Structure 1
Amino acid sequence: MSTLPVLIVVSVITLLFLYKLVRKHKGDSTNNFPNGSMGFLPVIGESLSFIKAQKANGGQEWVEERVAKYGHIFKTSLMGSPTVFITGRAGTKFVLGAETEVLAPRQPVTIAAIMGKHNLFEVAGTKRYKPLRRAMMSFLKPDILQGHIKRMDSMVKARIDKETKGKETITTISFMKKLTFHVACQILFGITDDPTEQALYEEFGHCFEAMWSAPFNFPGTTFRKGIQARKRIVKTMSPIMEKRKDQIKKGTLNPMNDVLSCILSLETEAAENGDQEEPITMNEVIDNFVALMIASHDSSAAVLTWIIWKLAKDREIYDNVVRDEKKQRKQQGGGETDGLTWGDVAKMKYTWRVVQEVMRVIPPFFGSFRTSIKDTSYGGYDIPKGWQVVNQTFIARLETI
């Protein structure tokens, strides 16, 4: 019998034992850490139970169990990082109101690996943040997006007709993900080629799964599949971006066509204006494309799914939304129109309130992630430099809304 497996097992057990001793020793120091469990295994910590809860839409219950046991501030280990959870309104005010020199917006290592280290969330507080944000906001300003309402209305109607034709039922969340991805590709990124859109949709599906997975880059793991999918996304988008960059330089493409072109135009603008600011790199463009695609379509799909769920459950709200829509139709003349405009949407006040209330009680994001840039404290507990800080405000349970 080979001794190699035995040596591996003994080595792992020894490392775990030493890890426990070191961690116990640290607990005897002068640091006043919150109560909680860092898990049994190094690096993994409580990641596996957290991931399992997230996939089962039980992230809130996972947090509530620990709050009941340890209090509104507790420690754990997630995605390879020691972590402090801070819950409640006061905690939200502390985390979101902290200076970036204290708590900087940083995503868990798995999310950061998929989005890329140059995405807007990761560069907050650095000199690269302002130019990247400026490029995005130049297209994402309300007056720019309002001009795309009619086009979005037409796209949504066409996609609904296509997906529901000949079908009695459809899976809402799956349909909403395809719908919002389609809108994001066309409106935000100017990707109008169907085969390219479909290929990207499949690859981003692997990326979404990898973001909430154990950070092990081994063959066959979910995380590895996500990393490989990201590489294929880069391979697909690189020639598209190079072509657009060339078109912008030649003046044959308007940078305001989409947010991707806005970001690509930064280098051209810097050269023309003799700007001393460091030009944007293709790595930065890629990372922010991936991050914005994830942020724009996945959360929107979740919100739309919960709105449909609420309308299906509450007949009174459904009837009021229909009445809101019919009232607007009547003001337009009662027949089919060329499509909704921003003015039409703004007048549907009851529908707006339904959307806002659903987002209030069922936020599309699990929580806010930060990294402690220097030693700090909250609620009488120490938060060491380098620790991950997660804020989550409890929300109403689905049965109560």
Structure 2
Amino acid sequence: MTSVLLFALLLLIPVIFLLRRTKSSKRVPPGSLGIPIIGQSLGLLHAMRSNTAEKWVQDRINKYGPISKLSLFGTPTVLIHGQAANKFIFTNGGDTIVNQQTQSIKKILGDRNLMELSGKDHSRVRGALVSFLKPESLKQYVGKIDEEVKQHIQMHWEGKQQLKVLPLMKTLTFNIICSLLFGLEGGKQRDQFMKPFQAMIQGMWSIPVNAPFTRYNRSLKASARIQNLLKEIVHQKKDEHEKNGANSRQDLISCLLSMVEDGKQVLTEKEIIHNAMLVMVAGHDTSSIVITFVIRLLANEPTIYAAVLQEQEEIAKGKLLGEPLTWEDLSKMKYTWRVVMETLRRFPPVFGGFRKTATDIEYGGYIIPKGWQIFWVTSTTHMDSNIFPEPLKFDPSRFENQASTPPYCFVPFGGGARICPGYEFARVETLVAIHYLVTKFSWKLLSDNSFSRDPMPTPSQGLLIELCPREIS
């Protein structure tokens, strides 16, 4: 009899365990974590490269509802979207949700970059970056950006009949970054960055398996090379500052090195290097893609092109030959900036973002366990007809009164305390580039309108155009 009871008890133990497990995980969002490490990563990456990522997300929503679990880039993940999701992400502090990107981004950009920090560390580093990137500081750099744009157009556009826009825009934004952020003029030291930088950004969204011949492996090696180059620049500028009292505002690294509180440097050398890399990637990719898609749009919308041209010609008429643009000139480019904003609504450079839960948190009636990754698709609100009527129509007038757009619905630069500190920097280089391109050239597309995401939008054939110089009065 005793043996029978013992046997029955042994049978009940796994049943009780399963019942408890079911009960404890009852409110975890529906879905599947898929194959270990890989999960749904390959499916998402394939969808992005085939430009079906929105459909991929919608299929999950249709199957599991507005919140679901999956595994991305080696981490258990919950997918959320919409206005409520954007507000949830941008208003939650470090006690519940902390900054953490995918393992690949963290390893490539470094664990002390702003996207990995929370709480006081985030505030300290963000404050240091904003001191250089805020409008009051950027006003003095408009002329430098103007000079870089004019040099670029002279070297790569003038005299050309056909060209690919995106590679050239990446060259332009890379040179602007090297000049303003690192104080590197054209030449050997700047050229050393280009090849490893291009290799590094290719593996930003990749499965973190460090095996030979993988994108991730190549990106890690390129990241190490860039960090060593930046370390040389930091040491060089530190010596210059100590010997000559160099102007702390001449570039980002000099600015960060000069920031001292209570006799101690505000940022460590590691933080300066990791955040220089972050700004380098953010400023290079997003701005080059936005300018490229504006050029694509202007080729398809002659009425909008004519309105942008009229605004820019009015500004050009008030300038002497060769005189650079000023901050005041940029403030007059209101219609052009609305065109840029509408381009960002239709073709946001960033498809989605990541955070990590610091504790078990409740969202949408489910529990997101501590340590899980949150992947929120930032742009689904951009194409919501309840927020933006006729969302497929390109209409810059939507942004004549930005206060009319509900909060947390237009988020190309993030929101709340996490809004991109480089927002004004991106605005300046985008408007300066558009000014000179539309006043000097007209163009037509030689490639179709298709594009893929890798992970950012990449037009077919790099956006091949036929170029026609304009007569400048």
Aligned partner of 1:298 among 272, 278, 285: 285
Counterpart residue number, 1:92: 86
Deviation at 1:197, TM superposition (A): 2.3
Separation in 2, partners of 1:65, 1:92 = 20
> Is the Cα–Cα contact under 8 Å of residues 38 and 46 in structure 1 kept in the other structure?
yes
SS in 2 for 1:83: strand
Aligned match for 1:188, one of 166, 178, 181? 181
Q: What's the counterpart of residue 342 of structure 2?
A: 357
- Count of matched residue pairs: 370
Aligned residue number for residue 324 of structure 2: 339
State the identity %: 36
User: How far did residue 339 of structure 1 move?
Assistant: 1.5
Map 1:94-113 to 2 at 5 A.
94-113=88-107
1:210 aligned partner = 203
CA distance in 2, matches of 1:23, 1:370: 30
CA distance in 2, matches of 1:349, 1:219: 49
Separation (CA, whole Å) in 1 of partners of 2:181 and 2:133: 9
Distance in 1 separating the partners of 2:158 and 2:313? 24
Deviation at 1:385, TM superposition (A): 0.3
Q: CA 1:28–1:48 in 2, change beyond 3 Å: closer, same or farther?
A: farther
* CA deviation after TM superposition for structure 1 residue 135, in Å: 2.0
Which residue number corresponds to residue 133 of structure 1?
Answer: 126
The secondary structure found in structure 2 opposite 1:255 is: coil
Q: Distance in 2 between matches of 1:155 and 1:74?
A: 46
Please report how far the alpha carbon of residue 370 of structure 1 lies from its aligned counterpart in structure 2 after TM superposition: 0.9
Off by >6 Å, runs of 4+ in structure 1: 22-25
Cα deviation, residue 362, structure 1: 2.4
Matches within 5 A, 1:223-234: 223-234=216-227
The answer to whether 1:155 aligns with 2:142 is no
- Paired residue type of 1:343: E
Question: Cα offset for 1:88?
Answer: 0.9
Partner of 2:214: 221
| 1:109-162 C-alpha deviation (Å, 9 max, x unpaired) | 11111110011111222x433332222111111011122112212211220221
Q: How much does 1:68 deviate?
A: 2.3
Counterpart CA distance in 1 for 2:295 and 2:94 is 37
Give 1:274's aligned amino acid.
G
**Separation in structure 2 between the aligned mates of residue 156 and residue 217 of structure 1, nearest angstrom:** 38
Q: Spell out, residue by residue over 1:211-256, the C-alpha distance to the aligned partner (whole angstroms, 9 max, x if none).
A: 1111101111110100000111122222221011122223431111
Residue 193 of structure 1 and its aligned partner are, at CA, apart by: 4.0
- Which residue of structure 1 aligns with residue 13 of structure 2? none
Q: 1:323 to 1:35 in 2, by over 3 A?
A: same
- Aligned to 1:256, the other structure's residue is in SS state coil
Give me the whole-angstrom Cα distance separating, in 2, the residues matched to 1:27 and 1:295. 43
Equivalent residue, structure 1, for 2:365:
380
Residue 114 of structure 2: SS of its match in structure 1?
coil
TM-score normalised to structure 1 length: 0.86
Q: Any idea what the Cα deviations from partners look like across 1:365-396, whole Å, max 9, x if unmatched?
A: 22232100000011101100001112223133
Higher helix share: 1
Mapped partners of 1:77, 1:26: distance in 2: 20
Q: Which residue of 2 aligns with 1:7?
A: none
Q: Residue type matched to 2:294 in 1?
A: I
Given candidates 243, 250, 263, the residue that maps to 1:274 is 263
* Aligned equivalents of 2:46, 2:21: Cα separation in 1: 29
Q: CA RMSD in A?
A: 2.3
Match of 1:17 in 2: none
Aligned counterpart for 1:114 among listed residues 89, 108, 117: 108
CA shift for structure 1 position 164: 2.2
Q: Is the 8 A contact 1:324 1:350 kept in 2?
A: yes
Q: Determine the C-alpha separation between the residues in 1 that align with 2:362 and 2:188.
A: 51
Matches within 5 A, 1:240-259: 240-259=233-252
Q: Distance in 1 between matches of 2:242 and 2:344?
A: 41
Secondary structure of 1:34's partner? coil
Which ranges of structure 1 fall in alignment gaps of 5 or more residues?
Answer: 1-21
What one-letter code is carried by the residue in structure 2 that aligns with 1:117? D
Residues 363, 140 of structure 1: alpha-carbon distance in 2 compared, 3 angstrom cutoff: same
SS at structure 2 position matched to 1:112? helix
Structure 2, unpaired ranges of 5+: 1-16, 385-390, 395-473
Question: 2: distance between equivalents of 1:361 and 1:25?
Answer: 47
Q: Which amino acid aligns with 1:86?
A: I
Provide the secondary structure at the position in 2 that maps to 1:284.
helix
Partner of 2:354: 369
Q: TM-score, normalised by structure 2?
A: 0.73
Matches within 5 A, 1:310-329: 310-329=297-316
Tell me the distance in 2 between the aligned counterparts of 1:85 and 1:356: 26
The answer to whether 1:36 aligns with 2:31 is yes
Cα distance in 2 for partners of 1:23, 1:309 equals: 56
Judging changes above 3 Å, is the alpha-carbon distance between structure 1 residues 70 and 186 closer, same or farther for their aligned structure 2 residues? same
**C-alpha contact (below 8 Å) 1:132/1:263 kept by paired residues:** no
State the alpha-carbon separation in 2 of the partners of residues 396 and 310 from structure 1.
17
Specify the alignment match of 1:198 in structure 2.
191
Counterpart CA distance in 2 for 1:23 and 1:355 is 54
Native 8 Å contact 1:75 1:82 kept in 2 = yes
- Displacement after TM superposition at 1:306 (Å): 1.3
Which AA in structure 2 matches 1:228? Answer: K
Shift of residue 34, structure 1, vs aligned partner? 1.6
1:361–1:27 distance in 2 versus 1, CA, 3 Å: farther
Shift of 1:184: 1.0
Give how far 1:308 is off.
1.0
CA distance in 2 between counterparts of 1:23 and 1:283 reads 47
Query: Is contact 2:98–2:117 with CA below 8 Å preserved after alignment?
Result: no
Larger mean CA deviation between 237-246 and 79-88 belongs to 237-246
Deviates more, 1:156-165 or 1:316-325: 156-165
Q: In 1, distance between residues paired with 2:303 and 2:286? A: 26
Distance 2:333 2:100 in 1: 37
**Cα offset, 1:94, TM superposition:** 1.3
Structure-2 separation of matches of 1:400 and 1:347: 25
Tell me how far 1:285 sits from its aligned partner: 1.7
